[in-house]
Structure 1
Amino acid sequence: MITTAARLNSVHEYYFSQKLREIDALNKQGKNIINLGIGSPDMPPHPDVIKTLQEESTKPNVHGYQSYKGSPVLRNAFANWYQQWYKTNLDADTEILPLIGSKEGIMHICMTYLNDGDKVLVPNPGYPTYRSAIQLAGGICIDYELKEANNYYPDFDALEKNDLSKVKLMWVNYPQMPTGQPASIKLFEQLIAFGKKHNILICHDNPYSFILNDEPLSILSVEGAKDVALELNSLSKAQNMAGWRVGVLCGNKERISEVLRFKSNMDSGMFLPVQLAAAKALSLGKDWYESINAVYGKRREKVYELLDALHCDYSKNQSGMFMWAKIPAGFENGYALSDKVLYESNVFITPGGIFGNSGDNYIRISLCATEDKISEAIERVGN
């Protein structure tokens, strides 16, 4: 009998992969499920981005293998973007590594730095892929709880009481997903000081900083951050390019070179027209971000109504394309509320428990649906 590798024993199929199959089966039964669970932008990229892809794809010399480090055009576009929006200087030749999606970058980092038994600090609640990538790489996840009372920031005093001698990485993500907690320079300064003190590589995942957020921030803008931090970013959210799979890893020359040693054995670069279209997307101005945030802002107002209909408690001080809310009394956990809404109202919302047990009493609702769809969800829940 052929068996799977032991490394798969520590991970399960991604929750949304499994749930989407169930939703598809319900739709085949005629249920017409309204999906408010997944953060996949339903709006298209800017027309000039699509035009660039179309025009570049017709050229005869763009279809071969590309540089493992990415096109200089894209790397320079990322450097300019970081300077314009984050006030952060990056060397396009040595401190920027384009990725086929930032989710892949999480795996690249874990495989580059973790040996069997190395420990990693993981946010709870937090993006499930951090945990999966750590375990697949042989690492051990050490949860650090994010509490609403502390604005979903790490409790550094509590962390200092632990034995951190075997901790090699720390995953952080602000604006935080799923809680929507915005970042602050003070927080980033604390993280960099903590990483330096304990020789821990701070890995910041930063895909949400332009969505309903007045002040985009990068951890690399903090003095000395490059000594101890890496940052992942993405065009999936703010540029509406989730399916294009364009991300980036930023950090000092040594870190980028180390990750490239792993990455260059995993893929052969990104299709050049996609890279050139991504560079066009990175050149978009303030009007673009204001236009998509105007849409998300109206949708968020409708989601407030939905959460009120569900009798949930929530903060209006959230960034990103989700709303995080505490479930009402009477439900065992977010899974129970999610299932009730799915099977009785034909609306899918995400149970907070998939992000860690600290999210058990919460749900998350995506803003990636039209106002009409959200209004229909409100009506269904009301009925």
Structure 2
Amino acid sequence: MIEVAKRLHTVEEYYFSKKLREVGLLIASGKPIINLGIGSPDLQPPQKVVDAITASFNNPVAHKYQSYQGLPELREAMSAFYKNHFSVSVNAANEILPLMGSKEGIMHISMAYLNEGDEVLIPNPGYPTYQSVTQLVGAKGVLYNLDAANNWMPNLEVLEKQDLSNVKLMWVNYPHMPTGAAPTETVFKELVAFGKRHNILIVNDNPYSFVLNDNPKSILSVDGAKEVCLELNSLSKTFNMAGWRVGMVLGNSGHISNILKVKSNMDSGMFYGIQKGAVEALKCSKMWFVTLNSVYKRRRDLVWQLAEALNCTYDKNATGMFVWAKLPAYLKSEEFIDVVLKENHIFITPGTIFGSQGEGYIRFSLCASTEILEEAIARVK
């Protein structure tokens, strides 16, 4: 028997990969399951995006290998997008690298900067991929706890009491997933200063900037941030293009060059038509966001009703395409969602998949129509 690599012993199959098989079996058996677990946008991309990829098919270069750095016009569109929406200047020639989704950027950055045994600061609760990728490259994840009392912001005073000598990288994610906490006016400045003091690369994962958020922010807007910071962003949630797999990493030219060394050995460029569609998406006016968020606001109102019907509480100031809800004190997250799945045929994400600090919480996705959400409310009531 051929043994698997030791690195596979450090990670498990992604929670949703396993749980959705269970949900799929229930559906196959005739159960009318409502899935409020996954943040996969169900709305359509802008029509001009679809038109652009369709028009690209007959271009003579469409089916050839593409540049590892993406089309120049795509990088220019990404640069203009950051200038228009974040007031951040990024050189399209060497400070932006298009990605096949920002998730691959987590791996590329980790491979570019982490040696075996290096330590990585990982938010708890936070996106599970930060931990799994850290383990896959042989580094050591060091969890830093976030809680509602501090609005899910990192407590840097507590962190600085720890031994940070082996810490190479820190993952942050604002607006935060899963809680929806938006960054304060000072948190990015404090993180940049923290990175400089301890020679730590700070990476802000920023795919939820525009969903139910009127004040998008970038860590790169802080003076001197490019010295110690990278930012990941994505078109998945902002433009309903999750399956297209278009993301980006932004930072100084040295960091981008290092990441490119990894990426250029991992793929052979993004499909031409997808890049052309992405260019059109990035040119959308602010009316696109207004229209998108009007839909999500109606859905969020219904999810709030659903949360209340389940005796949960929530923060009305949270942003993003999820509702993070607190269970009554005596309930456990995974037990609770299993009961709701069995009795009401509704799948909700338990907070514990995001870390131990998620115990006692559940997460609802807004990626379901008002009709489906109304049906979910009726089932619970």
Q: TM-score, normalised by structure 2?
A: 0.99
Q: Deviations over 1:132-165 (max 9, x none)?
A: 1110011100000001000100011100100000
One-letter code aligned to 1:369: A
CA distance in 1 between counterparts of 2:278 and 2:234 reads 10
CA distance in 2 between counterparts of 1:32 and 1:10 reads 36
**Secondary structure at 1:185 match in 2:** coil
One-letter code aligned to 1:346: H
Q: CA deviation at 1:204?
A: 0.5
Q: Does 1:285 align with 2:292?
A: no
CA distance in 2 between counterparts of 1:126 and 1:58 reads 43
CA distance in 1 between counterparts of 2:279 and 2:137 reads 32
One-letter code aligned to 2:238: A
Q: How big is the alpha-carbon RMSD for the aligned residues of Structure 1 and Structure 2? A: 0.7
Q: CA deviation at 1:279?
A: 0.5
Partner of 1:8: 8
Contact 1:185 1:222 in 2 (8 A): no
CA distance in 2 between counterparts of 1:65 and 1:138 reads 32
Partner of 2:369: 370
Q: CA deviation at 1:183?
A: 1.3
One-letter code aligned to 2:89: N
**Secondary structure at 2:186 match in 1:** helix
One-letter code aligned to 2:358: G
One-letter code aligned to 2:337: S
One-letter code aligned to 2:67: S
**Secondary structure at 1:238 match in 2:** coil
Partner of 1:224: 224
CA distance in 2 between counterparts of 1:345 and 1:31 reads 10
CA distance in 2 between counterparts of 1:146 and 1:373 reads 32
CA distance in 2 between counterparts of 1:217 and 1:52 reads 29
**Secondary structure at 1:293 match in 2:** helix
Q: CA deviation at 1:380?
A: 1.1
Q: CA deviation at 1:3?
A: 1.2
CA distance in 2 between counterparts of 1:313 and 1:304 reads 9
**Secondary structure at 2:123 match in 1:** strand
CA distance in 1 between counterparts of 2:167 and 2:329 reads 38
Equivalent runs, 1:316-355 vs 2, <5 Å: 316-331=316-331, 333-355=332-354
Percent identity, aligned pairs only, is 56
CA distance in 1 between counterparts of 2:62 and 2:256 reads 25
Partner of 2:261: 261
Q: CA deviation at 1:58?
A: 2.2
Partner of 1:212: 212
Partner of 2:155: 155
Partner of 1:101: 101
Contact 2:42 2:368 in 1 (8 A): yes
Q: Does 1:303 align with 2:303?
A: yes
One-letter code aligned to 1:207: P
Q: Does 1:201 align with 2:201?
A: yes
Partner of 1:46: 46
Q: CA deviation at 1:330?
A: 3.6
- In structure 2, stretches of 5+ residues that fail to align are none
One-letter code aligned to 1:296: Y
CA distance in 2 between counterparts of 1:2 and 1:274 reads 39
Q: Give every structure 1 segment of 4 or more consecutive aligned residues whose post-TM-superposition deviation is greater than 4 Å.
A: none
Partner of 2:355: 356
CA distance in 2 between counterparts of 1:57 and 1:132 reads 37
- In structure 1, stretches of 5+ residues that fail to align are none
CA distance in 2 between counterparts of 1:271 and 1:366 reads 30
CA distance in 1 between counterparts of 2:320 and 2:29 reads 33
CA distance in 2 between counterparts of 1:315 and 1:273 reads 40
Q: CA deviation at 1:60?
A: 2.7
Q: Deviations over 1:279-298 (max 9, x none)?
A: 10000001100001000000
Contact 2:53 2:274 in 1 (8 A): yes
CA distance in 1 between counterparts of 2:299 and 2:16 reads 22
CA distance in 2 between counterparts of 1:76 and 1:329 reads 50
Partner of 2:22: 22
Partner of 1:381: 380
Q: Does 1:85 align with 2:85?
A: yes
CA distance in 1 between counterparts of 2:7 and 2:38 reads 27
**Secondary structure at 2:323 match in 1:** strand
Q: CA deviation at 1:185?
A: 3.4
Partner of 1:33: 33
CA distance in 1 between counterparts of 2:320 and 2:357 reads 20
